[in-house]
C-alpha cells in the first residue's frame, strides 16, 4: 500500500513538471510561430496563397497535418491539466483516470518539441522550395525540389531564391554588387571579361550598386529576370538564400 502511494505521488509530481515544462515550450512555439509569419517559405505560414508560392498544395497539406497533431496535443494537455487540478482537490484520487490522461498526453509530448525544432530550422537556417516553371532549365525543371540556406553568402553563379513583390523566383546570379556590367550587341561583359552572347534587345552599361544583384534564368529565351522591368536588379533584402542542394537530381531538357 505504501509503495503504491509512493508511485502515485511520483506520478502526480511528474505530471506537474510535465505540465509546467510544456506550458513554457508552447509559449516559445507561439512566439516563434508569430515572428516567422513574415518569412515567405515558412512552412506554417497562415496567409499563403497559390499566387505567391509554388507547390502551394503540398505546403498546405503538410501544414494541415501538423496543425491536426498540434490540436491533439492541446486536447491532451487540457484534459491532463483539468484532471490534475481536480484530483489534487479530491481526498480519494482516481489514479486510473490520471494514468490514462497522462498516457494520452505523453504520447503527444513530442509534438511541441518537434514543432519547435522545425520552426527554428525552417525559420532560421534552411527551407525546401519547389521549382515552378522552366526558366532554370536545363539546370532545374518544374516540380524539382531544392534546399535553400538562409545563412550562406551569395557568390557569382550561385542559384538563388528571392521574393519580389510577394512572388518567389529562382535565378542565377550573374552580376554582384560593385560589378561593372556591360550588355550590348557584341556580348555580355562583367568587369571587362566576356561572359556570353548578348540577350536580344536588352542593353546595359554601368556599375551594379551596392546591395543589388543582376540575375538571369538559365533558360535565357524563357525567363523573367533582371532584364525585365518587373524584376530588375535584386535588392539584398529581397534575397531568401542560395540553393545548396538539388533533392530531385534528375535530367532536365529545354523544350
Residue 134 grid coordinates? 522552366
> Alpha carbon 192 to chain centroid distance?
38
| Cα–Cα distance, 236 to 157 (Å, whole number) | 16
Q: Quick one: which of 171, 167, 168, 149 has its CA closest to 159?
A: 171
C-alpha cell read off for 62: 503538410
Q: What are phi and psi of 16, to 5 degrees?
A: -60, -45
- 149 Rama class: left (phi>0) / alpha (psi -120 to 50) / beta: beta
Q: How far apart are CA 42 and CA 59, in angstroms?
A: 9
Catalytic: which of 45, 54, 127, 171? Answer: 171
- The catalytically annotated residue of 45, 54, 127, 135 is 135
Cα–Cα dist 46/163, whole Å = 17
CB 127 within 8 A of CB 41: yes
For residue 171, indicate whether it is catalytic.
yes
Known catalytic residues are 135, 171
Amino acid at each position: 500500500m505504501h509503495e503504491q502511494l509512493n508511485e502515485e505521488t511520483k506520478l502526480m509530481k511528474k505530471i506537474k513538471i510535465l505540465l509546467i515544462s510544456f506550458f513554457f515550450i508552447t509559449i516559445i512555439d507561439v512566439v516563434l510561430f508569430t515572428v516567422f509569419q513574415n518569412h515567405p517559405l515558412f512552412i506554417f505560414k497562415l496567409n499563403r496563397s497559390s499566387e505567391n508560392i509554388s507547390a502551394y498544395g503540398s505546403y498546405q497539406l503538410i501544414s494541415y497535418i501538423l496543425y491536426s497533431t498540434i490540436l491533439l496535443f492541446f486536447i491532451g494537455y487540457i484534459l491532463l491539466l483539468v484532471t490534475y487540478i481536480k484530483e489534487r482537490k479530491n481526498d480519494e484520487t482516481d489514479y486510473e483516470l490520471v494514468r490514462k490522461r497522462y498516457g494520452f498526453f505523453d504520447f503527444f509530448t513530442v509534438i511541441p518539441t518537434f514543432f519547435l525544432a522545425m520552426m527554428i530550422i525552417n525559420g532560421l537556417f534552411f527551407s525546401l522550395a519547389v521549382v515552378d516553371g522552366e526558366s532554370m532549365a536545363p539546370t532545374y525543371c518544374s516540380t524539382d525540389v531544392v534546399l535553400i540556406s538562409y545563412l550562406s553568402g551569395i557568390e557569382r553563379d550561385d542559384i538563388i531564391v528571392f521574393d519580389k513583390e510577394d512572388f518567389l523566383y529562382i535565378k542565377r546570379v550573374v552580376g554582384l554588387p560593385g560589378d561593372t556590367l556591360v550588355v550590348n550587341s557584341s556580348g555580355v561583359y562583367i568587369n571587362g571579361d566576356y561572359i556570353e552572347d548578348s540577350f536580344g534587345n536588352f542593353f546595359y552599361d554601368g556599375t551594379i550598386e551596392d546591395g543589388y544583384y543582376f540575375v538571369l534564368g538559365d533558360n535565357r529565351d524563357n525567363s523573367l529576370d533582371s532584364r525585365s522591368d518587373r524584376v530588375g536588379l535584386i535588392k539584398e533584402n529581397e534575397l531568401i538564400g542560395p540553393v545548396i542542394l538539388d533533392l530531385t537530381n534528375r535530367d532536365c531538357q529545354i523544350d
